[in-house]
Every structure is written in C-alpha cells, then in structure tokens.
Amino acid sequence: MRDQIVNSRFFKQACYIDGRWIKSNEDWIDVDNPANGDIIGRVPKFSAVQTSQAISAAAQALPAWRATSAAERSALLRCWAELMLQHADALAALMTLEQGKPLVEAKAEIVYAASYFTWFAEEAKRAYGETIPAVKPGQHIVTIKQGVGVCAAITPWNFPTSMITRKAGAALAAGCTIIVKPASATPFSALALAVLAEEAGIPSGVFNVITGNASAIAATFTASAVVTKISFTGSTKIGSQLMANAAQHIQKISLELGGNAPFIVFDDASIDKAVAGAMAAKFRNTGQTCVCVNRFLVQRAVEPEFRKKLAIAMAELILGDGFDEGVNQSALINRAAVEKVNDHINDAVAQGGQLILGGVSCPQQGGNYIEPTLIANGHSAMSVCCEETFGPLAVIIPFDKESEAIAMANDTPLGLAAYFYSDNIHRCWRVAEQLEAGMVGINESIISNASAPFGGVKSSGLGREGSKYGLDEYMEVKYLCFGS
C-alpha cells in the first residue's frame, strides 16, 4: 500500500508556490507513519525567504483573482471539490499513511473537506451588500462586500485536508488569495490538494502551500504588511502569540483553538442514545479533535447504567493500523501525544479515579498506540478536567444537580464545544443557553458540517468557519455614500 501511495501523482515532496513545484536545496523535514514510525517521505524545510516569495506570488495573483466574477470562482471551487471526490480513495490512503486515522475516517474527511468547497462555491454568489435609507434627500447609502486580500492559513495535523478547505474555500470564494502552511506531521495531504487545485484550473499564485519551519513562516506572515488576514487552527498558546504578533499590521485574525468539551448526561436522557453519542463524540479520530469530549458529567442516578453501557461499547473498539479492516481506533500522532494521555490516566488514578477499562500504552506494536481507557469517580481537580487530553481517555464525573453540572461544565477558560443529553425540552433550552461554548450538541454528538458556524468562545478562539459567517471572515464591508 505504501509503495502505491508514494508512487502516485498525489505524493509531492515539494512546495507549491506560484503554480510551481519547488524543492529544497538544503533542509528537509522527514514525515513518518504514526502506525509504525517508518519515514514515508520528506518535504522542504522552508523558512522566511520562501515564505516571502509565496506572499509575493499571492499578492501578484490577487488583482486578477478578485476581478473574476463570483460565478467563475464558484465554478472553479466546485470543480476542485469534484476532483477531490473523484480521487477520494487515493487522498484518503495518503491521509491514513501520514496521519494514522482509520481509512474509513480518512475517506469521510475527504468528503467533509470537499463539502466546504461546494458550500463556499454557493456562498460566493451570495455575498450581498445592502441599501440603507439615506439621511439627506438625494443621497444614496449602500454597502458592498469585498475580499480582504492576501490571506495566510496555518493548519493542524488532526484534520489535514478539511481544515484547509474550510479556510481556503472561504478565502477563494471571497476573492482572496491564500498561502497555506500545513502541519509538519501531515504535509502530504495539503500538497495533494494543491495537485488538484492545479488540475481544477485554480490560477497560479491563488492557492499556495509552503512547508517548513513553523515559527519562521508564521513570523513572516505576521511581519508582512501585504498579508491582511491570518487564520489559525491549533493550540491556544500559539494562537495567542499569533494574535499578539498580528497586531503589528492590524491583521485580521481567526483562531480555532483548544477545547475542553463537557458531555452532560441528565437523568431524564435516553441512556442508550447518550452512550451512542458519547462514543462518536469521544472516539472520532481516536479522541484527537478539538471538539472531542474531555469530561463526561453524569447525573448520579443514571451514572451506573451509563458507565456500564459505555464500558461495553468501548470494549468493542478495535485498535490498530488505520489500514487494517475493522480498525476504528488508530495510533496517535506521536509519542508525546501518547505520553500526555498516559499522564492524564496516571494523574486521575492517583487522585482516586477508578480504572474501568484500558490504561495501557502499546509501544510494542511499533506505533503510537494507547488503549481506549475509561475512568470513573472523576473530579474537577484532575488534569483531564483542566487540560485537553486529545486522546482516547474517557473520564466520568458524577453530579447531583443541574446547576452543579453547568458550573462544572463552564469551569474552564475554554469554550469550544459542549454536549448534553436530556429528553426535557425546557431543560434543553435552559442548559443550552447557559453553557459557555461556541457550539452545543443537544442530544447530538456530531456537530461539524459546512453549513454550521464552527468556532469557540473564551480562550477557544475568535471568528467562525463554515456557514454564511465563514465567508464574512474573509470580507470587508465597504460603505458607499452617493451624494445628490
């Protein structure tokens, strides 16, 4: 399988700048397979010089791109999406090889990623302005929306393709050009996307991909007066640094940062539905999503039933190489990720947590494996309740009163996603309104899709991606005042 992937035309060990494939003369970054540690290839370790070239290319391409009609941009985005779907199997295999996620999930991500292009292909046509009643006779006040200009995106390894299309789809639809810096752990999916951009006919310089030294590339983006917008998905720590640096040129910034999602199960919920939802919201991408559940808060009367049923469902998870049939839990991205989950398990057990299932890392398999783990008797002083685990660890914390659950859920500086299960409609509204999160799943655990606004409150970020709001992040409102 590896040979087939690395010999395909989608496997590029070069950056895509100004419509050209550029290799490094000096430094490279090795990329490995998290399932076994094998090096699968390398990409250029570019720095400030090449980033400045990419910025210039994006700036040069801007006037012609922003002059295209919305219908033309829409058609190109749609074509790009169709190519992704046509080659979904090859793109998914490449993603599994570098990211580790089970092939079924990788394929689902390609479909999800393409949906952002088709969504924004439509939204491009709906970037409406307004007419506003004038204040003087004969005067006319109107607004138009225009793309912000040259954009930069810094994207994560957990969703190597969809986090790019969510940003680039909106940027291109708005008439902006973009430079993407993918995570060094998963650059090949980004470069494969560039292969298809070329085939779809996206003009040179409109979509660029640069790999390399993350801090040098980010510093070049924020030091540039040409880059007008930066969009970042990643940690709160890096997001905060980027925001500070973006202040130099008052760059617009969108930040999709960490989460610490609570999942509340009330005693009036259907426990079977809550367990099914818990499995999906906790174990998608082996727990490595910003919206994955970090803390299960379960009302005491139903806690034994929920715990028992969750343990049964978790025992059926199959851990292994993402290419193997039936596997639904895969290697984590690197050893540090395994160590973090281990630390959270050890800390929870040391603080009185009861280990129900798992708790073992499996380095003997050669990859970054850790068993899905369930801990009961959790409490809010445990590290797992204060920090994002980003792995397959589920901790159950019992509670008595609704107000107690809400207080615990909100007791974090982060506010990305929250979930709860209840069959009481009054409680559903009441709790949904009180949870401090940008996204709330109510008897629903898969909340991400192109038509919905993705984003957080508090230290989880700024701005929204996807939906009609996602386009606005890449547009300015210009007010025109016509005198009499």
Handedness of CA 242, 244, 249, 250 (dihedral sign): positive
Options 289, 368, 445, 459; binder of ligand SIN; rule CB under 6 A: 289
329: left (phi over 0), alpha (psi -120 to 50) or beta: beta
Catalytic residue status for 256: yes
Binders of ligand SIN among residues 11 to 30 (CB under 6 A) are none
Options 76, 97, 164, 290; binder of ligand SIN; rule CB under 6 A: 290
Q: Which stretch binds ligand SIN (CB under 6 A): 168-176, 263-271, 287-295, 393-401?
A: 287-295
Q: Any contact of residue 158 with ligand SIN (CB under 6 A)?
A: yes
Catalytic residue among 15, 79, 151, 290: 290
Number of residues located near ligand SIN, criterion CB under 6 A: 8
Residue nearest to ligand SIN (CB): 448
Q: Any contact of residue 233 with ligand SIN (CB under 6 A)?
A: yes
Question: Rounded to whole angstroms, how far apart are CA atoms 382 and 396?
Answer: 11
- 24/161 with CB nearer ligand SIN: 161
Question: Rounded to whole angstroms, how far apart are CA atoms 115 and 444?
Answer: 20
Q: Any contact of residue 254 with ligand SIN (CB under 6 A)?
A: no
- 213/289 with CB nearer ligand SIN: 289
Collapse the DSSP code of 96 into the 3-class scheme (helix H, G, I; strand E, B; otherwise coil) and give the result.
Answer: helix
- 101/252 with CB nearer ligand SIN: 101
Catalytic residue status for 386: no
Q: Any contact of residue 459 with ligand SIN (CB under 6 A)?
A: no
Structure tokens at 452: 């919905």
Q: Which stretch binds ligand SIN (CB under 6 A): 71-79, 139-147, 285-293, 315-323?
A: 285-293
Options 10, 65, 80, 159; binder of ligand SIN; rule CB under 6 A: 159
User: Site map for ligand SIN, 419-448, x if CB under 6 A?
Assistant: -----------------------------x
DSSP annotation string for 140-167: EEEEEEEE--EEEEE--SSSTTHHHHHH
In our burial notation (b when 16+ CB lie closer than 10 A, e otherwise), range 310-321 reads bbebbeebebbb
Catalytic residue among 98, 109, 123, 256: 256
CB 260 within 8 A of CB 388: yes
- 228/448 with CB nearer ligand SIN: 448
Structure tokens at 227: 């880059």
DSSP annotation string for 235-297: -HHHHHHHHHHHGGGT-EEEEE----EEEEE-TTS-HHHHHHHHHHHHHGGGG-STTSEEEEE
CA distances for 226 relative to 211, 318, 410, angstroms? 20, 49, 39
Binders of ligand SIN among residues 26 to 65 (CB under 6 A) are none
Helix (H) or strand (E) holding 451: none
Residues with active-site annotation: 256, 290
Binding site for ligand SIN (CB under 6 A): 158-159, 233, 256, 289-291, 448
